[in-house]
Copies of this chain bind each other. A is one copy, B any other.
Amino acid sequence: MINRQWTVAARPQGVPVATDFELRESELTRPGDGEMLIQVLYLSVAPVMAMYMSGESIAQRPPLALGDVIHGRGVGRVLVSRHQDFEAGDIVHGQMGWQTYCVTAALPEDRFYRYSATDLPAHLALGALGMTGYSAYCGFVDVGEPRAGRPVLVSGAAGGVGHMVVQIAKNLGCAPVVGIAGGPEKCAFLQELGCDAALDYRRDDLEAQIRAACPDGVDLYFDNVGGEVLDAALENLAFGARIVLCGSIAEYNLDEPRGPANYTRLRRHDASMRGFYVYNHEAGFAAAERAMADWIRAGTLRPVQQITDGFEQLPAALMGLYSGANTGKQVVRVHDEGET
């Protein structure tokens, strides 16, 4: 059986370009003891993949060499299982790589999870009901400790994690819930999601926009971008504010990363900046999935997934993240759920 794979052709210099990727075909190997053969249904598209391509070692995962298959999470159907926890027919999500079929490696960090919300579409395992949703829920709720009735600010609010965070904040009664995104279309999307205010970072003076939306200061800022947006948030903290650092896409591709120049604002307001790495919060995944699935079924959380069709579209979808074109969680459909 032929497997198609996207590999690292060259190290991205900043934002990845088409010539950094190479499509390859290879013969599938058979799964060994403890392994599975998985038909990949959907693959996730996220900035961390460009970091892997650049040769960064993340989460104990060894750096990618030139020619290696690009890392990426996927959801798929188990075709053959020699793994004691799974059987053929299961829908699972985990690290699959940019390929159409996956023979699971036995790396301990490459843990797979059975998708349990089978009444809901499988691609949600790459969104609200998988790592993206766990990042939103565990980061916002467990790390950020939101308070009902208090102002919440979210950057990258139209993105995969961000658009869930604003909806979680609304479900928990935070007020106002203020989203930041780029451009009028994304801001309209934020209004649709229920944001009390949608701020466009491309317009002048984000700092003043935040102040107008949260005149008493921000109680909890969920940061997906870093850079100047983080600076502007730091100028608008309420006493005891928390900043949750989830992502920093504004800084991934800088040669010389910059820190928040005004981080000393944390002192004046007894505020804190809290980093978190979702894989450290595995104990909270089940509760996160339960809460998110319940809100989806109740209609109070609407996961937005942009599904691009076709395995060959993966590089374009990744490059699109940096153009600011994406809304919601980006996934690529590799096989139809009905196809074998």
Query: Would you call A266 and B262 a contact (CB within 8 A)?
Result: no
Q: Give A271 to B280 CA distance when docked, in angstroms.
A: 11
Give the shortest distance, in Å, between A44 (CB) and chain B (any CB).
19
Query: Would you call A239 and B280 a contact (CB within 8 A)?
Result: yes
Q: Give A274 to B5 CA distance when docked, in angstroms.
A: 45
Choose from B245, B264, B275 the contact partner of A226 (Cβ within 8 Å): B264
Query: Would you call B270 and A277 a contact (CB within 8 A)?
Result: yes
Q: Give A266 to B276 CA distance when docked, in angstroms.
A: 7
Q: Give A261 to B272 CA distance when docked, in angstroms.
A: 17
Q: Known contacts A258-B259, A275-B271; is A264 also within 8 Å of B251 by CB?
A: yes
A226: B residues at CB distance < 8 A: 264
Give the shortest distance, in Å, between A29 (CB) and chain B (any CB).
33
A267: B residues at CB distance < 8 A: 245-246, 275-277
A271: B residues at CB distance < 8 A: 274-275
Query: Would you call A264 and B258 a contact (CB within 8 A)?
Result: no
Q: A322 an interface residue at 8 Å Cβ cutoff?
A: no
Query: Would you call B273 and A273 a contact (CB within 8 A)?
Result: yes
Q: Known contacts A245-B263, A257-B262; is A273 also within 8 Å of B272 by CB?
A: yes
List CB contacts (< 8 Å) of A269-321 with chain B.
269-277, 280
Q: Give A259 to B235 CA distance when docked, in angstroms.
A: 14
Give the interface of A toward B (CB within 8 A). Answer: 143, 226, 239, 245-246, 248, 251, 256-277, 280
